[in-house]
Structure 1
Amino acid sequence: MIKVNKRITTFLFVLLAWGVFSQKSDSLTKPKNLTLRQFSRLADNSKKPVLLCFCADTFRVCKIQEEALEQIALERHQDMDVIWINLPDNPKIARYFEITSVPVLILYVKGYPVWLLYQVYEKEKIIKYVDPYIVNQ
């Protein structure tokens, strides 16, 4: 049996995380090739609310939504995590959630989904929906 140094384990974990979260646009996390287990960790292990956007960056409506989410991620990064799930980059997640239209926004609080929105929303409207959950943290 091979003994694994704690530093090596940490280093490997960091490399794995860096591969999963390889694309970051300011504070908007854009993971690629997520497994269901990794996805579950994103939503379940965060101490802050997690706003997920399921989208496809090839659609114009998703580009509009992305702009609003980038602004929210920059302004509210200390209060919440904002994660962009690009469906072509994450086909397993798309199949699991049976996403058939985009964009889809889901807010997770303490590992549980608390609301779901199915269309493009402006930044102010998203913040209006999110704020009650941030205040109660």
Structure 2
Amino acid sequence: MGTTKAVTDASFTSDVLQSETPVLVDFWAEWCAPCKKVSPLLEEIANEMGDRVRIVKVNIDENPETARAYRVMSVPTLTVFKGGQPVQSVAGARPKGDLVKLIEAAL
């Protein structure tokens, strides 16, 4: 059973870039209303997809280096990393089905 995990600038390399499993990174902020809509969907997807994908969250206000490194201009930005590289990305709140498709395209 999956769950989302908070990732920091310090842990991004080990948690995302060195992951054997594809990782969906949710770049978000506390003040972002659309981010709050996406969060429960990501929890559902994490539970449904289990070990096929890891879902992590990066608070851009607390971890500006990572957000800058990947040119996150708006939140939420959802980026799938595979083999240490960003392979798919969308900005803005999306329906659950779109998020699943984004992940499955990278598997």
Provide TM-score, normalisation by structure 1: 0.69
Pair 1:81 & 2:57 matched: no
Contact 2:7/2:15, CA 8 A, preserved across alignment: no
Runs of 4+ off more than 6 Å:
none
Cα distance change of structure 1 residues 128 and 96 upon mapping to structure 2, 3 Å threshold: closer
Pair 1:116 & 2:89 matched: yes
Q: Following the alignment from structure 2 to structure 1, what is the Cα–Cα distance between the partners of residues 69 and 17?
A: 17
Which residues of 2 match residues 1-137 of structure 1 at below 5 A? Answer: 27-32=3-8, 34-35=9-10, 38-134=11-107
Q: Following the alignment from structure 2 to structure 1, what is the Cα–Cα distance between the partners of residues 16 and 7?
A: 13
Cα distance change of structure 1 residues 48 and 40 upon mapping to structure 2, 3 Å threshold: same
Greater relative contact order (Cα < 8 A, sep 6+): 2
Q: CA deviation at 1:95?
A: 3.1
Calculate percent identity across the aligned residue pairs. Answer: 26
Task: Decide which structure has greater helix share.
Answer: 1
Provide TM-score, normalisation by structure 2: 0.86
Q: CA deviation at 1:63?
A: 0.1
Q: CA RMSD in A?
A: 1.7
Q: Following the alignment from structure 1 to structure 2, what is the Cα–Cα distance between the partners of residues 111 and 63?
A: 27
Q: CA deviation at 1:102?
A: 0.7
Greater radius of gyration (CA) = 1
Secondary structure of 1:51's aligned partner: strand
**Contiguous gaps of at least 5 residues in structure 1:** 1-25
Q: Following the alignment from structure 1 to structure 2, what is the Cα–Cα distance between the partners of residues 92 and 39?
A: 10
Q: How many residues align?
A: 106
Q: Following the alignment from structure 1 to structure 2, what is the Cα–Cα distance between the partners of residues 104 and 31?
A: 15
Q: Following the alignment from structure 1 to structure 2, what is the Cα–Cα distance between the partners of residues 76 and 57?
A: 26
Q: Following the alignment from structure 1 to structure 2, what is the Cα–Cα distance between the partners of residues 88 and 132?
A: 29
**Contiguous gaps of at least 5 residues in structure 2:** none
